[in-house]
Chain A
Amino acid sequence: MLELQGIAVSSGIAIAKAYCLVEPELPVEKMEIENIDAEIARLNETIIKTKSVLETIRNGMTDTVGEEQAAIISAHLLILEDPEMIASMKDKIKQHANAEYALKEVTDTFVQLFESMDNAYMQERAADIKDVAKRLLAGLMNVELPDVSLISSEVIIVAEDLTPSMTAQLDTRFVKGFVTDIGGKTSHTAILARAMGIPAIVGTKTASKSIPHCSMLIMDGDSGIVLEGATEEQQQHYRALQREFKLQNESLQKFSSLPSRSADGHSVEIVGNISKIEDIDSILTNGGDGIGLFRTEFLYMDRDELPTEDEQYDVYKSVLTKLEGKPAVVRTLDIGGDKEVPYLSLPHESNPFLGYRAIRICLNQQAIFRTQLRALLRASNYGDLRIMFPMIATLEEFREAKEILLDVKQQLETEGIPVSEKLQIGMMIEIPSAAIIADLFAQEADFLSIGTNDLIQYTLAADRMNESVSYLYQPYHPAVLRLIKTVIDGAHLHGKWVGMCGEMAGDTTAIPILLGLGLDEFSMSSSSILSARRQIAQLSKEKLATHIEHIFTLRTSSEVEQYVKTMLMEM
């Protein structure tokens, strides 16, 4: 039996077979073959089989992630059937080489050719050829490649890490949990799992190397424990826990139609974070009051070129239409940092989180920014749109961004395209400099939204992706709490509303503090909405006031955490 301890980042219990996303080794040996015709036939057969696998993947992607991403697989299909490549391979086989060796020789030549080009985009195409070659080689060697899009029974995905493009292919019906070697609370895996409402454990360090493919796994997304080859007793224990978890979830369901209001009648908005249109469904089924963060960068990632204005307009329009009048806060393009967009050819930086990213890119490459704003403003008539700019550090940046927006608006109006009068223009508070002068921003912005993931890492100077300093990622650090208070007070002074769209907004320890401080809008992953609403319904904002006073005399993050937990128990 194997027991691993990782970081629990999304709660729930899953019991299913492990699906190990480990790329198998495919060593190629050169062999002298006798029967040339049979070897060529073997190659042809494998190409046909691989073609049908790729077609299945592509058709599945068209349903789940759309035509644009499926285009990548279309290119793979053409590479697979490339007449020049196949002819070269056959030539080699005719000289008595085995198919595996012929394939490797030919594809290596093309890979080298592309890698040596002085065009970064073309260099990356080498990866496409490698991908196809690997698939074909695995087929020839009868080795099964793990392929997430082909999963058709319930599994727990075990991998070193998950990338956004990998997860784009996942069929969420079959994935019951994630276990990864690396990552933290805010890693892509964690965020995705919470959005899907399934358990996730990250940072196990060795899971992908030590868990056998297809073995029975139990994972507890609350304690961070992963069990492989569990005893009958343990299985029973976890099945019981799983049932209990399900019951609790069902009792939460009644909160989906209740208003977001504290025990003493103070109303707030509990809204959801989304990355793509499909995420809205789970926000709405959980009774979310709207969208508090639409991360539009996912429209720009995992593709070859910028999304056009019309393409974006269609997405924004569907988001607003689906919400039927509920508000949608859309964040303009926030790339850079850990979110790369290869076709923009942004220079590699040694310190990307402090570098050229988000609004800094948009203000400099205005064509990209203006296209997005045009699409947004055109869509604004379909609902309650609120646009916010990310990574604002100075008042000048906000003014410039707002000026561009108003300029785009005027242009549209000259063209006879109306823009909604309800439109709100706000900004994110993620940088300590912006938090400290929030009162100044509040005089010029319609609203402020605190992005705690970045605010915490910038305040404590600790990269949230770096496990060695993850102890410094402290949401309850007195400095972070003071900054949040400064922002809320600053905005309220000028009659503006304040939201929060970081992980902290859905955190059960943070919610009482945030409610007590007067936060107006809590934006979180859909799976936290109901429990947050229930918690707020049980809390009295007025009674929290004295506790808040005491919390602001505490000196460390752990003192705050301890105090709030005890306070919640006593209530």
Chain B
Amino acid sequence: MEKTFKISALDGLHARPCTLLVSAATPFKSEATLRYKDRSANLKSIMSVMSQAVPTGAVITISAVGEDEVALMERVVDIFISQGLGEEC
């Protein structure tokens, strides 16, 4: 499954938001990726997510594949909303 978000965090996905997202995704078994423009990053790898340098206003897609993909996605959506990182579109 996948969901698309528009980033509203002021400085984009910098260290703090990346730390939150990666920490949220890591405990799940499913594979998770973040797609921005034509590049994709492993959502469980902080280096890979940070090196995308996603700016504020950007539109990204997060996909999760695996047995607990629904739970993973719920957790990610929760982080996006509670931390004001962005909103689903």
The 4 closest A-B pairs by CB, nearest first: A84-B45, A78-B46, A75-B19, A84-B48
Jot down 25 A-B pairs with beta carbons below 8 A, ordered by A. Answer: A74-B19, A74-B23, A75-B18, A78-B19, A78-B22, A78-B26, A82-B45, A83-B42, A84-B42, A85-B47, A110-B47, A110-B51, A113-B51, A114-B51, A119-B53, A121-B11, A122-B50, A125-B14, A129-B47, A304-B14, A304-B15, A305-B10, A305-B11, A305-B16, A343-B11
Q: Which size bracket describes the interface of B in this complex?
A: 20 to 34
Q: Using Cβ atoms and an 8 Å threshold, which residues of chain B touch A84? A: 42, 45, 47-48
Choice from A79, A83, A121, A305 contacting B44 with Cβ under 8 Å: A83
Beyond A75-B19, A85-B45, A117-B53, list 16 extra A-B contacts (CB 8 Å).
A71-B16, A74-B19, A75-B15, A78-B23, A82-B45, A84-B42, A84-B45, A84-B47, A121-B14, A122-B14, A122-B50, A125-B14, A304-B11, A304-B14, A305-B10, A305-B11
Find residues 48-82 in chain B having any chain A CB closer than 8 Å to their own CB. Answer: 48, 50-51, 53, 55
Q: Using Cβ atoms and an 8 Å threshold, which residues of chain A touch B50? A: 114, 122, 125
- B66 to chain A: closest CB distance in Å? 15
Q: Using Cβ atoms and an 8 Å threshold, which residues of chain A touch B45? A: 82-85
Find residues 7-55 in chain A having any chain B CB closer than 8 Å to their own CB. Answer: none
**Contact between B46 and A79 (Cβ–Cβ < 8 Å)?**
yes
Q: Using Cβ atoms and an 8 Å threshold, which residues of chain A touch B46? A: 75, 78-79, 82
Q: Using Cβ atoms and an 8 Å threshold, which residues of chain B touch A74? A: 19, 23
- A62 to chain B: closest CB distance in Å? 15
A113 to B41, CA, bound (A): 14
Cβ-based interface call for A128 (8 A):
yes
Find residues 114-142 in chain A having any chain B CB closer than 8 Å to their own CB. Answer: 114, 117, 119, 121-122, 125, 128-129
Choice from B10, B15, B47, B53 contacting A82 with Cβ under 8 Å: B47
Q: Using Cβ atoms and an 8 Å threshold, which residues of chain B touch A305? A: 10-11, 16
- A141 to chain B: closest CB distance in Å? 22
Q: Using Cβ atoms and an 8 Å threshold, which residues of chain A touch B16? A: 71, 75, 304-305
- B67 to chain A: closest CB distance in Å? 18
A75 to B21, CA, bound (A): 11
Find residues 1-58 in chain B having any chain A CB closer than 8 Å to their own CB. Answer: 10-11, 14-16, 18-19, 22-23, 26, 42, 44-48, 50-51, 53, 55
**Contact between A79 and B47 (Cβ–Cβ < 8 Å)?**
yes
Interface SS majority for chain A: helix
**Contact between B19 and A71 (Cβ–Cβ < 8 Å)?**
yes
Closest A residue to B15 using CB positions: A75
A110 to B23, CA, bound (A): 20
Q: Using Cβ atoms and an 8 Å threshold, which residues of chain A touch B23? A: 74, 78
Closest B residue to A128 using CB positions: B15
Q: Using Cβ atoms and an 8 Å threshold, which residues of chain B touch A78? A: 19, 22-23, 26, 46
Q: Using Cβ atoms and an 8 Å threshold, which residues of chain B touch A83? A: 42, 44-45
Closest A residue to B50 using CB positions: A125
A224 to B86, CA, bound (A): 55
The contact string, 1 if C-beta is below 8 Å from chain B, for chain A 73-99, is: 011001100111100000000000000
Q: Using Cβ atoms and an 8 Å threshold, which residues of chain B touch A85? A: 45, 47
Closest B residue to A78 using CB positions: B46
A78 to B11, CA, bound (A): 20
Closest B residue to A124 using CB positions: B15
Closest B residue to A88 using CB positions: B47
- A128 to chain B: closest CB distance in Å? 7
Q: Using Cβ atoms and an 8 Å threshold, which residues of chain B touch A79? A: 46-47
- B9 to chain A: closest CB distance in Å? 9
Closest B residue to A121 using CB positions: B14
Choice from A75, A122, A129, A343 contacting B53 with Cβ under 8 Å: A122
A437 to B22, CA, bound (A): 56
**Contact between B15 and A125 (Cβ–Cβ < 8 Å)?**
yes
- B16 to chain A: closest CB distance in Å? 5
Q: Using Cβ atoms and an 8 Å threshold, which residues of chain A touch B51? A: 110, 113-114
A262 to B60, CA, bound (A): 69
A387 to B11, CA, bound (A): 30
- B14 to chain A: closest CB distance in Å? 6
A421 to B16, CA, bound (A): 39
Task: Determine which residue in B10, B14, B55 has the highest number of CB atoms from chain A within 10 A of its CB, and name it.
Answer: B14
Task: Determine which residue in B10, B14, B15, B19 has the highest number of CB atoms from chain A within 10 A of its CB, and name it.
Answer: B15
A552 to B46, CA, bound (A): 64
A77 to B78, CA, bound (A): 22
A511 to B22, CA, bound (A): 56
Q: Using Cβ atoms and an 8 Å threshold, which residues of chain B touch A114? A: 50-51
A74 to B21, CA, bound (A): 12
A114 to B14, CA, bound (A): 12
Task: Determine which residue in A83, A117, A129 has the highest number of CB atoms from chain B within 10 A of its CB, and name it.
Answer: A83
The contact string, 1 if C-beta is below 8 Å from chain B, for chain A 268-307, is: 0000000000000000000000000000000000001100
A72 to B16, CA, bound (A): 8
A83 to B42, CA, bound (A): 9
Q: Using Cβ atoms and an 8 Å threshold, which residues of chain A touch B15? A: 72, 75, 125, 128, 304
Q: Using Cβ atoms and an 8 Å threshold, which residues of chain A touch B44? A: 83
Closest A residue to B41 using CB positions: A84
- A420 to chain B: closest CB distance in Å? 31
Q: Using Cβ atoms and an 8 Å threshold, which residues of chain A touch B18? A: 75
- B41 to chain A: closest CB distance in Å? 9
A117 to B42, CA, bound (A): 19
